[in-house]
A and B are shown apart, each in its own frame.
Chain A
Amino acid sequence: EAAVTQSPRNKVTVTGGNVTLSCRQTNSHNYMYWYRQDTGHGLRLIHYSYGAGNLQIGDVPDGYKATRTTQEDFFLLLELASPSQTSLYFCASSDARGQDTQYFGPGTRLLVL
């Protein structure tokens, strides 16, 4: 069974704060993704990567940085957090082909005060 873990599961910060969300997958997948989930919008892609050191920009990248340090680890960085970034964040991994399933982590709930 594919495994994607995220930490922390819950995070509270203040406006202007610095936050790092972590994701690790043990599926030996090349591709990893960061999404945010907001009511009425479904999941929206922030950043994604096809391997260590690679980074691609998604549909809602403003205010976010990401870094893929290894095949297993993908980080999402909010360097100056704003209340508009309060959301539920999901990480996912998959193989390269279009029909392949994306496997999701349990999510991180972020509140920016």
Chain B
Amino acid sequence: AQSVTQPDARVTVSEGASLQLRCKYSYFGTPYLFWYVQYPRQGLQLLLKYYPGDPVVQGVNGFEAEFSKSNSSFHLRKASVHWSDWAVYFCAVSAMSNYNVLYFGSGTKLTVEP
């Protein structure tokens, strides 16, 4: 069965520092993968998505993610974090054969220190 694990519930970084948020997936075959962001008191917004092709995917606001089939991973990165990136980040995998249902990880709460 498909599933997503985000091993870090909370991550704190200094403004201007680089960031990596980890995501491990379980899926039979090649998956479609997503990163969503949830800003305080808002719904989820898409950051980026992966479907078979280039393993490095560019998203909005300077975010990128790299797909690794050998490691079953889809880690999110940003070279220089801004205070406005303070949010909760969710990784998700699509069950392509089942109505585009998404399976979400438990989320990583990012805190940005000045």
Q: Which residues in A have some Cβ–Cβ distance to B below 8 Å?
A: 4, 31, 33, 35, 40-45, 48, 50, 56, 58, 90, 92, 94-102, 104-107
Contacts and interface: CB of A to CB of B under 8 A. Distances in A.
Interface of B: 4, 6, 9, 32, 34, 36, 42-46, 49, 51, 90, 94-97, 99-107
Contact of A50 (B6, B46, B95, B99): B99
A107 B99 contact: no
A4 B99 CA distance: 18
B100 A98 contact: yes
B43 A106 contact: yes
B104 A99 contact: no
A107 B104 contact: no
Across the A-B interface, the 4 shortest Cβ-Cβ residue pairs? A98-B96, A104-B43, A42-B104, A42-B106
A48 B99 contact: yes
A42 B105 contact: yes
17 contacts: A4-B43, A33-B102, A40-B106, A42-B106, A43-B44, A43-B90, A43-B104, A58-B101, A90-B43, A90-B44, A97-B96, A97-B100, A100-B100, A101-B34, A102-B46, A102-B100, A107-B43
A102 B102 contact: yes
A95 B49 CA distance: 15
A96 B97 CA distance: 10
Name the residue among B49, B96, B102 with the largest chain A CB count within 10 angstroms.
Answer: B102
Nearest to A4: B43
B100 A45 contact: no
Contacts of B6: 42
B43 A33 contact: no
Contacts of A31: 99-100
Nearest to A45: B101
Contacts of A105: 43
A103 B79 CA distance: 27
Nearest to B31: A98
A94 B106 contact: no
A92 to B, nearest CB: 8
A102 B90 CA distance: 13
